[in-house]
Amino acid sequence: MRRRDLLSALAVPAALPTDTLFRKDAERYWLQLRKEQFLLPDSRAFMNNGSLGVTPRPVLKAVEEYMENAAALTIPEYEYPRWGYESLDSQRTIAAAFLGCRKEDLAFTHNATEALSTIAAGIDLKPGDEVLSTDQEHPSGRAGWLLKQARYGNPFREVPMPIPPASPDALADALLSAIGPRTRVLFFSGILSATGLVMPVRKICDAARAKGLITVVDGAHVNGQIPLRLDEMGCDYYAGSPHKWMFAPAGSGILYGRPEMLERLWPSIVTGGWDRKQDHAERFMKVGTNNRAIIEGMVAGIRFGNEIGWPRIYDRIHSLARTARARAAALPYVKLLTPDNDALYGSLISIDLDKKIANPFMAECERRKIWIVRGTRIRVSSHIHTRPQDIDAFFGTLEEVAKKTGV
């Protein structure tokens, strides 16, 4: 898209397609929504929301508008546009309503990595206290504990998860049965990054709490992909990445903690106010000058989802994933890692492919502009702009490549 077209696209906010259209012809509703609310060209099939989502027009517009107003200083509210020193109460109130928690318990960060690092660094452990985790964690989740292990000697132990699991309980049991006498912290993802498997978070957290353990959930894939209420998850700390599934611009993160646990957490990046515990989560947003436009974009993303209706979004993206799963299940050369159990996945399914097919398949996807994560473990992660034809293109390409390679 040329720059002129882009600017005019941002200037004219299109109304969402109507509910009447949704009821009459849901496929047309989603196609129209993609066409009018996203900048994605028709030629792109984007199924890599698990890495980073695509920002819709209202979000881009909010970011741009904020930057312009800040530069022009035209609105008194914008006179001091530095979110690294502000409490951002109205923005946190909107985010907290969506995430299901109190605004006082929620801080904005730049990404999940920052929130995860802050949590790992900020928890006091005694010598020998152990952190127990799964063998499926993202490097951004593992690294904070590995650093702690290297620096203070607190062991970080990773337990193999059964993949694919027979049931949600199988995942909980694998982790909970590995708790040992020195275990002090349980750290795990709410949705496992490489496979999209949904962990039974509440069950694990309740069992851990009963044993007096601290629970830390890496929710990078949770908020926006499946329904959640942070204050009902049962965890002590949670880190999230709104730029994956919540339509937020890149550079948005969240850190949540239960009130009494936030009080016990040390901040890492600090300026004035770092020790004002009465400010609750706000202490973790006092990090120095930042780009508030990103936060305005994140809030616009939540509003965009509210307007469509998050239940409608969750239904749509899960049904796309179910379609992709069924296609994968029919292919003998695919190892499907997503079980036939709706409780175990949201909108991200994953498959293992033999290198012999995976390499030419990746190359072909690139040529045909089908965006997915690269490797022999492939994730298909769809959002509301993903079209059924995109899933067809993915599997059609895979079938062609398989035929050619003779598997």
Q: Give the phi and the psi of residue 254 in degrees, each rounded to 5.
A: -135, 150
Nearest approach, Cβ of residue 401 and ligand PLP (Å): 26
CB of 52 or CB of 71, closer to ligand PLP: 52
Residue pair 48/383 in contact by the 8 Å Cβ criterion: no
Nearest approach, Cβ of residue 87 and ligand PLP (Å): 23
Nearest approach, Cβ of residue 230 and ligand PLP (Å): 16
In the stretch 102-141, what mask flags binding to ligand PLP with x, by CB under 6 A?
A: ---------xxx------------------------x-xx
CB of 284 or CB of 395, closer to ligand PLP: 284
In the stretch 8-47, what mask flags binding to ligand PLP with x, by CB under 6 A?
A: ----------------------------------------
Nearest approach, Cβ of residue 350 and ligand PLP (Å): 12
Region of residue 375 (phi > 0: left; psi between -120 and 50: alpha; otherwise: beta): left
Q: How many CA atoms lie within 13 A of 360 on its CB side?
A: 14
CB of 137 or CB of 327, closer to ligand PLP: 137
Nearest approach, Cβ of residue 198 and ligand PLP (Å): 12
CB of 105 or CB of 218, closer to ligand PLP: 218
Report how many residues bind ligand PLP under the rule CB under 6 A: 14
Q: How far apart are alpha carbons 140 and 120 in whole angstroms?
A: 11
Residue pair 181/73 in contact by the 8 Å Cβ criterion: no
Nearest approach, Cβ of residue 106 and ligand PLP (Å): 16
Long-range contacts of 320-326 (CB under 8 A, 24+ apart): 320/347, 320/382, 320/386, 320/388, 320/391, 321/196, 321/345, 321/346, 321/347, 321/348, 321/349, 321/380, 321/382, 323/388, 323/391, 324/349, 324/380, 324/382, 324/391, 324/394, 324/395, 325/349
CB of 349 or CB of 401, closer to ligand PLP: 349
CB of 218 or CB of 236, closer to ligand PLP: 218
Run of H or E residues at 106: strand 106-109
Q: How many CA atoms lie within 13 A of 170 on its CB side?
A: 13
**Amino acid identity, residue 380?**
V
Q: Which of 322, 321, 353 is nearest to 335 (CA)?
A: 353
Nearest approach, Cβ of residue 247 and ligand PLP (Å): 14
Nearest approach, Cβ of residue 111 and ligand PLP (Å): 3
CB of 17 or CB of 122, closer to ligand PLP: 122
As a whole number of Å, the end-to-end CA separation of the chain is 40
In the stretch 203-232, what mask flags binding to ligand PLP with x, by CB under 6 A?
A: ---------------x-xx-----------
Q: Which of residues 231-260 bind ligand PLP (CB under 6 A)?
A: 241, 253
CB of 51 or CB of 69, closer to ligand PLP: 51
Q: Which of residues 145-204 bind ligand PLP (CB under 6 A)?
A: 189, 193
**Amino acid identity, residue 97?**
A
SS3 assignment for 248-302: CCCCCEEEEECHHHHHHCCCCCCCCCCCCHHHHHHHHHCCCCCCHHHHHHHHHHH
Question: Which tokens belong to 171?
Answer: 């995942």
Neighbours of 55 (CB within 10 A): 23
CB of 133 or CB of 193, closer to ligand PLP: 193
Nearest approach, Cβ of residue 31 and ligand PLP (Å): 28
Residues that bind ligand PLP (CB under 6 A): 51, 111-113, 138, 140-141, 189, 193, 218, 220-221, 241, 253
